[in-house]
Amino acid sequence: MLEELLALDHSGAEYDAWLIRIDQGDQFGSGFVALNPNSKIPALVDQATPMPVRVFESGAILIYLAEKFGVFLPTENRRACRMPIVAALAVGKRALTLAEASATSTPTRRPGSNMR
């Protein structure tokens, strides 16, 4: 979303991206865990505020940036109610698919699992 904000000429949307190599476990290092205690990507630190603001989870980052820059969020009540759903679909199609699959499938016991 920062790219879209820059394309709309919003000053303050400049950012530094840091490479987190999940195949090497970078997300479990103390520096990243300080940003996101869940050790998951993405994470954002807004240092343009008097006190740095940490935001993690894709949907939360989208809503934080939309509110900060006053764009991409509807002002009409009826549309505003749908915004979280649209954001969730935009960033969580895979998560929704996995949740749906787990809700409709029968658990299977795998050798060595603790599931009873």
Residues 82-115 have pLDDT tens digits of 555 555 655 555 555 544 544 444 444 444 444 4
Nearest one of 88, 1, 91, 92 to 44, comparing CA atoms: 1
Give the residue with greater pLDDT, 81 vs 20: 20
What would the two tokens of residue 56 be? 């993690």
Is the whole model's pTM more than 0.85, yes or no? no
In this prediction, residue 17 carries a pLDDT of 85
Contact (CB, 8 A) for 34 and 17: no
Q: Per-residue confidence at 78, pLDDT binned at 50, 70, 90?
A: low
